[in-house]
Structure 1
Amino acid sequence: MNTPWRTAMSATLHCLTGCAIGEVLGMIIGSSLGWSNLATVILSIVLAFLFGYSLTMRPVLRAGVALGAAISVALAADTVSITVMEIMDNAVMLVIPGAITAGVLDWLFWASLAISFAVAFVVTVPVNKWLIGRGKGHAVVHQYHHHHDEHSEHAH
């Protein structure tokens, strides 16, 4: 497997991590508070973006970038990826019978979520490969990852 695919898979896994944290937390909060499915899904999407951006900003902030610039980097790096992932995983949840109405204590919810994340990952990897190949998407973050790695090496 060549490097662009490996990089795209890594970027997508990173995105999936933030999305998964946000979506699961949103589902738990929404269902615990007795919110409607729509309100719970909206909260989950908002939290998916929030956690996705936050995970991207961590190494950028550690590299010494100001908060405003780090936010810009995260928006540039992850907006398309998170959007595609959210569209795909929510679409899958909507087409699996009963998945959207299943509660967080129901196995159908977790099985459907796992399937939806897998589908979202497979669809988002080529999107990220295309973006990275054009110097966009997660490619804008890599300079900060390397900057942090250099500082880590000097510290040892």
Structure 2
Amino acid sequence: MSDTASHEHHGHEHDAGHQMGSLNAMSASATLHCLTGCAIGEIAGLLIGTAIGLSNGWTIAISIALAFVFGYTLSTLPLLKAGLALGTALGVVLAADTLSIATMEVVDNLVMALIPGAMNAGLVNVVFWVGMMIALTVAFFAAYPVNRYLLQRGKGHALTHQYHGTDTAVTGPSRFIPSIPTPSLVAVLIAFMLGGLIVAIADELGENTGGEPGGHSAVSTQRR
């Protein structure tokens, strides 16, 4: 192989590797974005369902509904900030995120159902928070190939990616819409879940040592 041909060959390999890395990074980012919205919605639904003593079925239904609401909302806000009309932005988001969110919800709830005691655990319960962390992790790995497949074909988050980063030219009311980076949302979610786990551990330690567990009666009603 001549030097020129060899150089071109390595150049093509470099470009292919760069594109593959970019695709993988975009897929991971898109999956984390969806996962954050889903997790916020699910935890909010579980908080509501547990606090008012709803059955497992109703609590799961509310959690799934809120997961879609928050998932769609987090994807819609950047598009509104980029200047898209609400109807147009919602249309793009529905086409981009529905399959990813649906995959996460099916896997997440299935894993929670398979973990002994997780579905009936109170919010001040280590089993609940550990189960939620496991379920969300599995849901991420289940949705990642879905997002990657869609991105390869110019679908999924590829539909919204073209509008990202264009908000600097917006001068109307859309400029007041908050822009929250995905890493910041993920960090807040992780901190919240770790906080819940720490509270649950402290509550159980308080019970084991004969102390008064703080706030246990207010939020640990089991879902029936």
* Structure 1 length-normalised TM: 0.94
2:95 corresponds in structure 1 to 76
1:47 aligns with 2:66: yes
Q: Following the alignment from structure 2 to structure 1, what is the Cα–Cα distance between the partners of residues 65 and 57?
A: 12
Q: Work out the CA distance in 2 between the residues paired with 1:62 and 1:93.
A: 36
The answer to whether structure 1 residue 5 and structure 2 residue 12 are counterparts is: no
2:58 and 2:122 map into 1 onto residues whose CA distance is 14
Contact 2:118 2:131 in 1 (8 A): yes
Structure 2 residue 68 is the aligned partner of structure 1 residue 57: no
Counterpart of 1:28 (choices 19, 23, 47) is 47
Other-structure match for 1:151: 169
Letter in 2 for 1:109: F
RMSD between superposed Cα atoms in Å: 1.2
**Where do 5+ consecutive residues of structure 2 fail to align?**
1-19, 171-224
- Secondary structure of 2:166's partner? helix
User: Relative to structure 2, which stretch is displaced further, 14-23 or 96-105?
Assistant: 96-105
Identity %: 52
1:100-132 residue CA offsets vs partner (Å, 9 max, x unmatched): 111111110000000000000011111100001
Indicate which of 106, 109, 128 corresponds to 1:90. Answer: 109
- 1:104 pairs with 2:123: yes
- Higher helix proportion: 1
Find the aligned partners of 2:34 and 2:88 in 1 and give their Cα distance.
19
Deviation at 1:78, TM superposition (A): 0.5
| 1:144 alignment partner, SS class | coil
Moved over 6 A (4+): none
